[in-house]
Amino acid sequence: MSKYDESSTGSQLTYAAGYILSLALTITAFLLVRKHVDSHHLFPTDNFMLAALSALAIIQLFVQLIFFMHLDRESKPRWNNLALGLAAIVVFILVGGSIWIMSNLGYHHSGYGTTHDGHHLTSPSQETQYIIQDEGVHQ
């Protein structure tokens, strides 16, 4: 492999390092969430979890950009900025869209109790019937 190919695509060592770092960050996030759930949301605190998982996600983003997209080796900084901007747009769409969908589902189908339009639901079958009626599903 020539020096040009090595610098533009990375080596097995850089890919292995990126993989190990990504795996370690993912396992760390998983173990934090597991500990949080096992302690019934008492330890670590919710605010700590929000900060820790956000930090781990940002670190994971930079690991992916550097080790797999090779943004640190690009000779033209314009392409670095373009790739980083595209990654930010994709993350914004995925995270923002997911939060929007979950919020919308939580608002429209909040379980038992009173719905957004005043219907009182007391059982799963009532909820199912309400969803079918509300969404205009015809069986």
DSSP of 23-75: HHHHHHHHHHHHHHHHTTT-SS-HHHHHHHHHHHHHHHHHHIIIIIS-TTS-S
Higher pLDDT, 126 or 43: 43
Locate the domains of the chain by residue range. 3-73, 109-139
- pLDDT value, residue 4: 47
62 HSE (CA, 13 A, CB side): 5
Q: Mean of the pLDDT values across residues 26-55?
A: 94
- pLDDT value, residue 109: 61
- pLDDT value, residue 74: 60
Residue 83 pLDDT > 80: no
Q: pTM of the full predicted structure?
A: 0.60
